[in-house]
Structure 1
Amino acid sequence: MREEKRGGWSLGLAGLLAPAALWLGLFFLAPLLLILAYSFGTSGVYGGITLGFNPANYLKVFDPLYLEIVVRTLVIAVANTLLCLLIGYPLAYFIAFRGGRWKSTLILLVMIPFWTSLLLRAYAWVVILSGNGLANRLLQFLGLTDEPLNLIFTTKAVMMGMVYSYLPFMILPLYAALEKFDVRLKEAAHDLGAGRWSTFWRVTFPLSMPGVIAGSILVFIPSAGEFVIPNLLGGARTVMMGNLIQQQFLNARDWAFGSALAVMLAALLLAAILFYVRRVGAEKLEGV
């Protein structure tokens, strides 16, 4: 009887997992394997690709021109993650410990940007930072500048747009981790003579590491693959790997090199995340 029950449970579990496995297989694993196969192919002169084994696509990534874009992408992604952490942690801390009856309202305000498209939010920054935009008008009204400043199509503009877009991805995991925090631990630390900063660095921050790790991963991964914000706010001056991959597929029609870039980006992200988790400690991901 138990064997039949176990078999029934196994069959039922397989039935539940089958739709998700089929979906992931068709729309995640199959395209990933196709891109991997394309990365070793040879692109035609007028588009198209011939499958084979051509590792030169990967060696081309180490050209100084493309290597500069890879380094720039990683630097911007790391900087965006750090800025989101520096801005998001105090806000999440305030909502968790000082929000009171306004917690739900404040979390709702954090989530409001999700109600609109990323493309619309990026275009809003174009309006704000353009030569005749709100930022330049305000600076001239306050008498800080006599003529419009070059605020758009710069790395700073890209950083502002990315921090604005991905800040909620940092705040929400941090809030979830801090909300579970036992306030009695802070009281015990104070009773033992620890000051506010000592309590924060030795008690609060270590116990909020699950939120820090989750938020960092949620911000770093899409930041490294971002192409909409750099395209609108950075232009040709701030090309990232996402823009380069897009150009190779749509403009240059070099599908093989574009696929190699995509595989390299995925490998770099995976290596960076594994290194980060191993350094911090995988056990701290529990409860995220």
Structure 2
Amino acid sequence: MSDRVEVSKTYKTYIDGTFPRTESGRYYKVYDGNGDILANACQCSRKDVRDAVLAARDAFDGWSNRSAYNRGQILYRIAEMLETRKAQFIEELETIGYKTSDARSEVEASIDRLIYYAGWSDKYQQVFGSINPVASSHFNFSLPEPTGVVTIWAPGEQPLLGLISVIAPVIVGGNSCVVLSSEKYPLSAISFAEVLHSSDVPAGVVNILTGFRKELLKHMTSHMDVNAFFVTDPDIDREQRKQMDEHGALNLKHIIRKSVDNWEDKESKSPYFITDFQEIKTTWHPVGF
């Protein structure tokens, strides 16, 4: 009797709460820690970016209008779901060359990172908002509000912790996002999309693509319905920086660059990561009304 042939996993994209294949029909090879072919990942195109941005824009109003407390509850739920699948993610990281102890450390740090930002969900407004003194009979309040749709380059290394560390502060503040996963290690991102899908995150709030950064940079930074672009890799070259700035100027989108070498460092998490994607709205109200 022949040995059973295992069913290999098909890695797709994650757009609007579903798992479509790339519109382009193209794929690229992903390798394990020994240099052997591990899987095929979708090589996304401009059309995939457009579809993801449309889904993110449709989801933005509903997500941003939820209470901060509820968004924190949902991030906590993502952490719960990730905790139940911890063994799977440890094994996936081992496949790409992690030692078991390092893989466990990254998965546990990823869970803790979600809890960290869940805790800030209903507090950053108080810390970064203000009551302003004015020389008239008015109350004057300044409060942070979400920017809108954010496109993100997930870090090239630490593919799970880095991914979660850039998604969590963006969505906890009420934004929706389109994320391009690590080009070299994209599989953890798609597995994390399955965690999102089984949690309480509304469809379209987080959209995850795979593919080549060089090909998708222009589409992610020049799209006129994107409000901000976020990148943290320390090795962004001069030409890429130029493209980001030029394309961002087309509709005055924010280009947020933060250089992070190690996502397990204390400096890699901060409420300021949330406020990078907030606009300050000031309200005047007459005294006595």
**Above 0.5 in TM-score?**
no
- In terms of fraction of residues, the more strand-rich structure is 2
TM-score, with structure 1 as normaliser = 0.29
Task: Flag the structure with larger Rg.
Answer: 1
- In terms of fraction of residues, the more helix-rich structure is 1
